[in-house]
Amino acid sequence: MPIPLIERYRDRLPLEPGDPIVTLCEGSTPLIEAPVISERVGARVLLKLEGANPSGSFKDRGMTVAVSRAAGAGAEAVICASTGNTAASAAAYAARAGLRGVVIVPEGKIAIGKLAQALMHGARVIALRGNFDQALEIVRALADRHPVELVNSVNQYRIEGQKTAAFEVAEELGEAPDALAIPVGNAGNVTAWWRGFGELSRAPMLYGFQAEGAAPLVRGVPVPEPETVASAIRIGNPARWEEAMAAFTSSRGRVEAVSDGQILDAYRLLASREGVFCEPASAASVAGILAHGLAAPPDHPPPETVVCVLTGHGLKDPDTALGKAPAVIGCEAELEAVERAAFAG
Ligand code: AN7
């Protein structure tokens, strides 16, 4: 069983001595080689499987810290706006801590697995007739008016917890990789990884990837009506805009867009050739290096080791998977018929 992230990195996390540790044994996720993708980009590519966290996404790293602190501070409820994974994670940790959870999601725009999680954990789920950016604006105002803890990544404890992913990668490789490829939505996670590497001796170039229809950081202006198949990153006005841009610049990296087609190709490639089923938003990290290569500034050597962050599990979004997968083969319960179905052609 993995050691709870708060115990593993207690001395680097800002909890108070009396805070309870609200944990589901998050963190310590696998970092695995990706031979097929490595071959295609001409560098050693590793995948950090954040879908292996308890609720199936990287959000658990931040949530264990944010909910522990909220419980320690005497909060009775946690609230968030979410494209799905934050909602699932907040609901799980709220249940664990005995707190009420309220999650606001864009109606009809979150993957079905995430909705099932939030409901099963007993959160109050509110489907907003609007998008994530509007939901975040509303929960920020609500958190000012009620004694609830806001657990979006505007919450510092979320970022502090999520920075531990950088510690794990650096520990495992012996040092930070040359580059880190990461999907970008509200820009909390890239901010967190950058902070984590900043507390170590060496930092990678950051390659951030947004979906083409939801790429405010690439365009340099907010996108009022973001659209993408990668519903987790359907965000038009990231809360951590300035910090993320500062991180890309100081790391000498870049932020670029990938099309939905490129995202879905990488999603299928990861599942069918590497054996890794992630959600579409996560595949943006791999789509990005396949589409844009591993460019470095002229006075900088090209990266030899690249870590792609696969932020969430593929089971979160069965609808997208089934919509893109080959059909199942129906068959009578007879040996010859099954034999034909299994091996013919
Ligand atoms: C799988 O759940 O914003 O750039 O409300 O679920 O830190 O926002 C999710 C974001 C990448 C982007 N991959 O991270 C939410 C939410 C997955 C995600 C991102 C999200 P940020």
Query: Ligand 1, atom 10: nearest CA belongs to which residue?
Result: 232
Question: Ligand 1 in contact with 102 (CB < 6 A)?
Answer: no
Answer whether residue 1 shows pLDDT above 80.
no
**Residue 310 counted as domain residue:** yes
Instruction: For residue 233, report the distance from its CA to the centre of ligand 1, in Å.
Output: 6
Counting Cα atoms < 13 Å in the Cβ hemisphere of 34 gives 34
The enclosing H or E element of 145 equals helix 132-145
- The C-alpha angle 151, 154, 159, rounded to 5 degrees, equals 85
* CATH code assigned at 278: 3.40.50.1100
Query: Ligand 1, atom 18: nearest CA belongs to which residue?
Result: 232
**Judgement on whether residues 86 and 101 belong to the same structural domain of the protein:** yes
**Judgement on whether residues 226 and 275 belong to the same structural domain of the protein:** yes
**Judgement on whether residues 186 and 53 belong to the same structural domain of the protein:** yes
Question: Ligand 1 in contact with 51 (CB < 6 A)?
Answer: no
CA nearest to 187, candidates 245, 143, 227:
245
**Judgement on whether residues 205 and 223 belong to the same structural domain of the protein:** yes
- Rounded Cα distance between 159 and 135, Å, is 20
Q: What is the pLDDT of residues 2-53, one digit of tens each?
A: 799 999 999 999 999 999 999 999 999 999 999 999 999 999 999 999 999 9
**Residue 335 counted as domain residue:** no
**Residue 333 counted as domain residue:** no
Domains contained in the chain, number: 2
Q: What is the pLDDT of residues 217-264, one digit of tens each?
A: 999 999 999 999 999 999 999 999 999 999 999 999 999 999 999 999
In ligand 1, the atom with minimum distance to the C-alpha of 316 is 1
Write out the residue range of the structural domain in which residue 146 sits.
59-157
**Judgement on whether residues 170 and 311 belong to the same structural domain of the protein:** yes
Query: Ligand 1, atom 5: nearest CA belongs to which residue?
Result: 82
Question: Ligand 1 in contact with 206 (CB < 6 A)?
Answer: no
